Structure 1
Amino acid sequence: MTEPTFKTVPDDGEPLRILVVGAGRMARLWLRAILASPDTALAGLVDIDPAAAEKALAETGAPDVPTGPGLTALAAATSPDAVVDVTVPAAHLPVTLEALALGLPVLGEKPLAVTLPEALRLAAAAELAGELFMVSQSRRYHPHLFTFKQQVGRLGRLGILTTEFFKAPHFGGFRDAMAHPLLLDMAIHPFDTARWLLNAEPVSVRCEEYNPGWSWYVGAAAATAVFEMTGGSRYIFTGSWCSPGLETSWNGAWRLSGEHGSITWDGDHPATVEMTPGKDVDRAAGRMWTTAEPAKGVAGSLAEFVHALRTGTVPMGEVHDNVMSLAMVTGALESVLTDRRIRMDDLLDAALADALESATGPERDLLCSRAPLSSSRSCTRAPGSGPA
């Protein structure tokens, strides 16, 4: 894949004007981050429930900015520079498509989309619009994790990266009723971080999911996944959302084993490195995408989004890259449902064929240009016409 390019927003000395879409719980975090940053200003808040928008503004101490139920109408009234999408996952596709069609770059909450075919459509739409679409993987933005990343190059060839994640939260609400709560709501964070730390992509996955007898979740609250990664390394995730006692950090507990040493990180404190004496190698191999120590969490995502728009620098979480993090979740779930090892190439080919069934116009033409032979038959007939 060629390096993505997108339109920049020239720095005129004024803050980047942000239109937020969605006034739920996560919107509070984003509103506070936008208000706290000297580089951003809140232009308005979109929500289908006007009362919810007014409540979110009041609870976060936001200024009196315009609100409304529709993105297009409020964008016309406020002239924002960019959109932050904190709607529910099912709305990510229509909201992002609408914003891109308006010529507005988008910073969206994870997951990129509900399904992998929708994610491929959004990647194509961003490319056609020439606008930045970045997905906030906010747990990457942690000073200790960036230090971990800087040390990776010392280890030489990488062998095994593991994450242990054990918590016992009583959320109530939708998570307790989900069919696959850990995989669908949480696992994308460590999966995405693993790609970044290893500088590698998933090749295949074998995953098992289970629900302990004492679990208060309807769906399986525990899972173990083994990913083969490019370069021959392995990433192993094991975790549970119903494991009281000796709980890990919300960031998980990490260990990376390489040719010349190992790194461990408990998720909260500085990482620990132990090297074989005399075996240090060039640290540059573990360089980060950004060089400065990041702001933490959502603030870090927002700062990188602004920097990308001002400079044209491709940020972490750019849509084409983030597709592969969603693919890890999708592949793990497919492995659970089919009880077999899933090859990522097969998964992506099937997702592309499905995307072609719903895409139209230039978006569909672009997807067809990327389609492998196994999916090319979908390009010879009209979308939605059924099997040839």
Structure 2
Amino acid sequence: MSRLKVIQIGVGGFGQSWLTILRDFNEIELVAVVDVDENNIVDAKKLLKDDSIQFFQNHLEAFEQVEADIAIIITPPQTHKRLALDALRAGLYVFMEKPITHTFEEATELYNEAKKYEKFIMISQNYRWRPEISAIKNCIQQGIIGTVEYGEWNFRRATKFGGWRDQYSEILIEDMSIHHFDLLRHILGKDATSIYSKSMKPSWSWFGGNGVASAIIKFDETLINYFGSWVTRGKETSWNGEVRLVGSKGIIELIDDVPLLTYEDGKTHELELPKMPYTDREFSIFEMVQAIKENRKPITHLEDNLKSFAIVGGALQSIKHGEEVTIVGSKSIEAIN
């Protein structure tokens, strides 16, 4: 199969770094760039320095005029549903940044509509594809510490983005925690069954909404205590966070992105990091290409990612109503007393 042709939609901010990844990835060809902001188009032209790439401010014009295989969507979540469906109608595969959409209800609507089309939608969950995460998952799945009975996940950073993120009412849960919730599903090999969550906005916060949240999440019989802050003070964690997963035969920890295994006798050693053909976002693109070549769904296809996004939806319901919320498959259900 020749190189797959890609149209990237959205090249402002985070989209600029995606341009570099796509430009340098050998198995794809970047054929067009779309952005509604002319300044972003100018910046993209300067970055790419490639006259063969076409530039548009209207994605429908790009779909009509450029032959392509994949639409890569790096835009605010409020635009994802419309752009993804337009791409499917144009006969393109779809690759999107997380979260799927702005709301869980929109994501469910997109899933139901997307089933009408032959091509798939993949969500980039790039945190999965890091050697330290793979090392932890492999250890858990091999049963080295026995059954994981409880765990702690702590995330603390002070990050100022500006733009649309500053307007979200629950910015940590809606935009950041999806990474950690998805990692929990990935590592444990289980789907969440319930969540109880609280959030708040510290007096010094620069976000319009709540930048601090905690949650108690059940994955069947495994209890996870989650805490996250995007407006922390003092020592920050990595983007992965600090993790402790405690089993019947030992504990696995992730501290400063170093995975550690401690047995019942107290002996601790670092887990060996696996060799990977690509990591992080590059692996996400690699998985997309391989899925198309092998005529299969990618690992983080839309239906699977709905199960991670359902945890976000459940957390938001729990915060709103002050109740524990039951999560069934890819649906979050408000608890009724």
Q: Same fold (TM over 0.5)?
A: yes
For the 8 Å contact 2:128–2:183, the answer to whether it is kept is: yes
From 196, 205, 223, the counterpart of 2:213: 223
Structure 2 CA distance for partners of 1:268 and 1:114, relative to 1, 3 Å:
same
Partner in structure 2 of residue 333 of structure 1:
316
Q: Which of the two has higher C-alpha Rg? A: 1
Matched, 1:122 2:105: no
CA distance in 1, matches of 2:252, 2:332: 35
Structure 2 CA distance for partners of 1:101 and 1:261, relative to 1, 3 Å:
same
Matched, 1:324 2:313: no
Gap regions ≥5 residues in structure 2: 266-273
Structure 2 CA distance for partners of 1:145 and 1:37, relative to 1, 3 Å:
same
CA distance in 2, matches of 1:92, 1:132: 14
For the 8 Å contact 1:195–1:201, the answer to whether it is kept is: yes
Partner in structure 1 of residue 250 of structure 2:
261
What is the 5 A alignment of 1:170-189?
Answer: 170-189=160-179
CA distance in 1, matches of 2:149, 2:105: 31
What is the 5 A alignment of 1:1-388?
Answer: 11=1, 14-152=2-140, 153=142, 154-230=144-220, 232-269=221-258, 271-276=259-264, 293-345=276-328, 348=331
For the 8 Å contact 2:11–2:34, the answer to whether it is kept is: yes
CA distance in 1, matches of 2:126, 2:60: 27
- Residues 167-213 of structure 1 deviation map (CA, whole Å, 9 limit, x = unaligned): 12233444344322211121111011111011111111100112233
Cα distance, 1:312 vs structure 2? 2.6
Alignment RMSD: 2.2
TM-score normalised to the size of structure 1?
0.78
Cα distance, 1:59 vs structure 2? 2.5
How many residue pairs get aligned? The number is: 324
Cα distance, 1:62 vs structure 2? 4.7
* Larger RCO, structures 1/2 (Cα 8 Å, 6+ apart): 1
Cα distance, 1:292 vs structure 2? 6.4
Cα distance, 1:73 vs structure 2? 2.5
Cα distance, 1:77 vs structure 2? 2.0
Q: Name the SS of the counterpart of 2:71 in structure 1.
A: strand
Q: Percent identity?
A: 28
Partner in structure 2 of residue 384 of structure 1:
none
- Residues 301-340 of structure 1 deviation map (CA, whole Å, 9 limit, x = unaligned): 1111111111134323210000011111111111111111
TM-score normalised to the size of structure 2?
0.89
For the 8 Å contact 1:15–1:40, the answer to whether it is kept is: yes
| Letter in structure 2 aligned against 1:321 | D
Q: Name the SS of the counterpart of 2:115 in structure 1.
A: helix
CA distance in 2, matches of 1:328, 1:27: 26
Query: Quick check: which one's helix share is greater?
Result: 1
- Residues 256-275 of structure 1 deviation map (CA, whole Å, 9 limit, x = unaligned): 11121111112523x11123
Structure 2 CA distance for partners of 1:75 and 1:218, relative to 1, 3 Å:
closer
| Letter in structure 1 aligned against 2:318 | S
CA distance in 1, matches of 2:110, 2:208: 31
For the 8 Å contact 1:99–1:106, the answer to whether it is kept is: yes
Q: Name the SS of the counterpart of 1:192 in structure 2.
A: helix
Structure 2 CA distance for partners of 1:164 and 1:56, relative to 1, 3 Å:
same
Gap regions ≥5 residues in structure 1: 1-10, 278-290, 352-388
| Letter in structure 1 aligned against 2:234 | G
